[in-house]
Structure 1
């Protein structure tokens, strides 16, 4: 699945405004609809409660660092584990100062839509 991560990164680097806007709209719609129980999660407002089972991949401040995000996704094999009891938790500061902030946001939104 490493190639899927690289493919996603390459797609992020070439994405056109219209497609990016569509991805934002799709993710916004999904987030708006989420409330109650979703799999092993309980969503209450904007708070997501995760049951203590499976594996968690925790990502700290990326600050628009696309290379680090790609590395984390590859090394954790997250895309292979995504359908199992594995969750990806971002702590914030996705892209407030890096060169690839928009691309980092794009990948995070695409992961949400998986």
Structure 2
């Protein structure tokens, strides 16, 4: 399914991915989106930061600049929303996801949801 058909995008890094995902959970090339080239470059640079920080495909713990990484990711997601105002733009917050994983070890699986670390970006 194409981005243009569903007008839905997730901004999220994962090792070896491209920084954006469709609603089927497939990593996609940000150049396939109707975005300005400078924003595509930011997405790719953010993904490269993630990839270069990984050790054996996993982000390191304390050495990674999580606050700066998450701030840049959120800023990118907000810029994507400005560029694509009629699209659903979802941001995956890596820092909150890590907290979720730690908390979910001691809670039933249903106690926490994706809303803990993934949320829609609005223009408000």
TM-score computed with the length of structure 1 as normaliser: 0.30
Report the structure, 1 or 2, having the larger strand content.
1
TM-score computed with the length of structure 2 as normaliser: 0.29
